[in-house]
Amino acid sequence: MTLLLGGAYFAIAVGCSLVTASKQLATAAALGVFFLFVIVWDLVDDGLRVLFEQFGSASGELPAWALFLHGATPGQLYNRIVSGLFVGQETGTYLGPDTAWYLGEWVALGVLGLWTVVPILAGYWRFRRVDL
C-alpha cells in the first residue's frame, strides 16, 4: 500500500511535469499540489464544517458526499485503506455499518489507483497535443 501511495504522488509530479513548459514550473506545481494535499486540505475540512453548520446541518457533521470529496486525497485514502483492510478498524468517520458504501476502504483503494494512473494519462495527453 505504501508503494501505491508513493506511486500516486509520483504520478502527480510526472503529470505536472508533462503539463508545464519548464523545470521550475513543474517543480513548483508538484510541490504546490503536495503542500495543498498535506497541509492546506484540513483547513478545507474545517471551512466546510463551519459552512454546513451555518447553512443547514446543525450537528456540524459533513454529509457523505462532502466526506468523500474531503477524503479523496492520496494520504487520506491511504489511511482509510490501512485502517479498514489491515488494522481491521470498523468504526470512525469513513468506516462503520452506518456509512455510505462509497466511503469504504475498497472504494478508497480504487480511487488511490486512479490517482496513480489519471495524472500521467492526462499529462501525456496534453504533452502529445503540444507542438514542441
**How many domains are contained in the chain?**
1
DSSP annotation of 126 reads: H
The mean pLDDT value of the chain amounts to 84
> For 50-78, b where at least 16 C-beta lie within 10 A, e where not — what string?
eebeeeeeeeeebeeebbbebbbbbbbbb
pLDDT tens digits along 98-109: 778 888 888 999
Q: Say if residues 57 and 71 touch (Cβ distance below 8 Å).
A: no
DSSP annotation of 116 reads: H
Task: Residue 94: give the domain boundaries.
Answer: 2-129
Banded pLDDT at 91 (limits 50, 70, 90) = low
Mean pLDDT value across residues 59-79: 82
Instruction: Using alpha carbons, list the distances in angstroms from residue 79 to 6, 35, 51.
Output: 13, 18, 25
pLDDT tens digits along 2-11: 899 999 999 9
Q: Return d(Cα 129, Cα 93) in angstroms, integer.
A: 42
Phi, then psi, of 73 in degrees rounded to 5: -80, 150
Q: Say if residues 17 and 32 touch (Cβ distance below 8 Å).
A: no
pLDDT tens digits along 23-59: 899 899 999 999 999 889 888 877 877 777 777 665 6
Mean pLDDT value across residues 66-91: 84
